[in-house]
Amino acid sequence: MENRVLIVGGGLNGPALALALAGAGLPVTLIDARPAPARAEAGFDGRAYALALASRRLLQGIGVWPQLADKAQPILQVKASDGRAGEGPSPLFLHFDSAELDEGAMGHMVEDRHLYAAFLAQMQASPGITLIHGQTVVAQDITASGAMVTLANGDQIKGRLLIGCDGRGSGTATRAGFRRQGWAYGQTALVTAIHHAKPHQGIAQQYFMPEGPLAILPLPGGHHSSIVWSETDAQARAIQALDDADYLTALRPRFGDFLGEVALAGVRFTYPLSLSLAESYVAPRLALVGDAAHGVHPIAGQGLNLGLRDVGALAEVLVEAVRRGEDIGALDVLERYQSWRRFDDTAMALGMDSVNRLFSNDNSLLRMVRDIGMGVITRTPALRRAAMRQAAGLSGPLPRLLAGQAL
């Protein structure tokens, strides 16, 4: 029997893992509940990802970066500061400049429509990947020798290993009986894109407001930015209900006038924020990747970057196991992935959680502490570079694909 890997979930982590595994010779079946997308390129809707440098390397390794390179905006500087609506940023803030890193840009902004299109085209061109669109998994069965999923249409598909890339509400994890821990933040992210009169110069801005963080992330062309704006649930509901003009009026004082006149340029999305950690990432013949394992607070865009680190680590563990002659579904093989990733993911999830709690707060003492802390990091080159390497995804034991090496 062949070493087929079943991947449930066709978002971004699933396709990335499918491409990494198929590239190393493992046959993959990817099951996506969404229907096959139309071939025509989707229009601009403002949704975008901040890809850390390490994530960009992984995309290079699995062959999708060439299609994205000219559609991506390099992040040349990151500025983070404390703020209060109407007051603008505090004088003490974090400032990172890519010129200080040997590796170049700390990251890239890539629009969701381009990213998924590139993954899809690459999967369709990959003979080792069987794509199933528009089918949900209704049952899964794990035996000593393999994993089998039953689709809504009754089809049954067998493999050696089942991987859940099906998000924070992972059906794969639920059917396997994995317990989860987590909580809602009482915050909702408002996401949209703006057009601004002054160029962004490749600078990503993050303001920590008492209501929740606001990120302004540079998009290609110089005059568009993606806005990720967190507010309390009630406030977010109220803002989302406003018409475009009033929405903009609510947004404008929150980030001052350094970008000149602004106008809405994208669809307005909302995402309730919550933390959701699976108590285990693996079981015999089963593994969870990305949000299915750890749905984090999306501060600093670390959700996709963490997911791609999982992808890089799991692909490396599995390919190494194949070359060693091991059973890729064996628990001791999968535990290598879990022990590699779980600490990093949990630390990141809880780190994001505490950053959010520390900053989403108007206590004057906390404000002083965090302003001084950010000032100290900004003025200390070694600390600053360490924080930048963390943000660029270059810290910790890196999977080979994220270090720019082949599997």
Partner 1 sequence: MQTTIDPAEVAKFEAMAAEWWDPNGKFKPLHMLNPCRLDYINAQIAAQFDRDLKAPLPFKGLRLLDIGCGGGLLSEPMARLGATVVGADAAPRNIPVAQVHAEQMGLSIDYRHSTAEDLAAAGERFDVVLNMEVVEHVSDPLAYLTACHDLLKPGGIMLCSTLNRTPQSFAMAIIGAEWIMRWLPKGTHEWKKFITPDELYDLIRKAGLTPVDRKGMVFNPLRWDWSLSDRDLTCNYVTASVRTG
Comparing CB distances to partner 1, the nearer of 27 and 220 is 27
Of 293 and 321, nearer to partner 1 (C-beta) is 321
* Residue 395 DSSP code: S
Q: List, as one string, the DSSP characters of 158-205.
A: EESEEEE-S-TT-HHHHHTT--EEEEEEEEEEEEEEEEESS--TTEEE
Residue pointed to by tokens 């609510």: 250
Farthest CA pair distance, the chain: 65
Distance CA(164)–CA(296), nearest Å, equals 17
11: number of Cβ within 10 Å: 20
**Closer Cβ to partner 1, 263 or 331, answer by number:** 331
User: Which residue's CB is nearer to partner 1, number 45 or number 326?
Assistant: 326
CB nearer to partner 1: pick between 261 and 332: 332
**Cβ at position 328, least distance to partner 1 in Å:** 10
Place of tokens 């943000």: 391
Residue 250 or 330 having the CB closest to partner 1? 330
Find the Cα–Cα–Cα–Cα dihedral 242, 248, 250, 253, rounded to 10°: 180
Size of the site for partner 1 (CB under 8 A): 13
DSSP codes, 120-136: HHHHHT-TTEEEEES--
Q: Rounded to whole angstroms, how far apart are CA atoms 393 and 387?
A: 10
The site map against partner 1 for 18-47 (x = CB under 8 A) is -------x----------------------
Q: What is the DSSP pairing of strand 107-111 with strand 129-133?
A: unpaired
Q: Could you tell me which of 202, 221, 204 has the C-alpha nearest to residue 213?
A: 204
91 binds partner 1 (CB under 8 A): no
Tell which positions 143-172 bind partner 1, by CB under 8 A: 144-145
> Could you give the C-alpha distances from 223 to 145, 199, 373, in angstroms and in order?
55, 5, 32
366's tokens: 């906390």
Closest contact distance (angstroms) between CB of 106 and partner 1 is: 31
Residues making up the chain, counted from first to last: 407
Choice from 1, 245, 365, 382 touching partner 1 (CB under 8 A): 1
Q: Nearer to partner 1 by C-beta: 154 or 397? A: 397
Q: Which CB atom, from 1 or from 99, has the smaller least distance to partner 1?
A: 1
CB 336 → partner 1: shortest distance, Å? 9
Cα 136 from chain centroid?
Answer: 23
73 neighbors 219 (Cβ within 8 angstroms): yes
**Which of 331/372 has CB closer to partner 1?**
331
Q: How far is the CB of 25 from partner 1 (least distance, A)?
A: 6
Site residues for partner 1, 273-332, by CB under 8 A, read 323-327, 330-332
User: At its nearest, how many Å lie between partner 1 and the CB of residue 330?
Assistant: 7
Q: Do the bridges between strand 48-52 and strand 107-111 make them parallel or antiparallel, or are there none, so unpaired?
A: antiparallel
CB of 65 to partner 1, least distance (A): 23
CB of 386 to partner 1, least distance (A): 24
Min separation Cβ 161 and partner 1, Å? 13
Q: What's the min distance (Å) between Cβ of 142 and partner 1?
A: 13
Q: Which of 103, 335, 353, 371 touches partner 1 by CB under 8 A?
A: 335
Residues that bind partner 1 (CB under 8 A): 1, 25, 144-145, 323-327, 330-332, 335
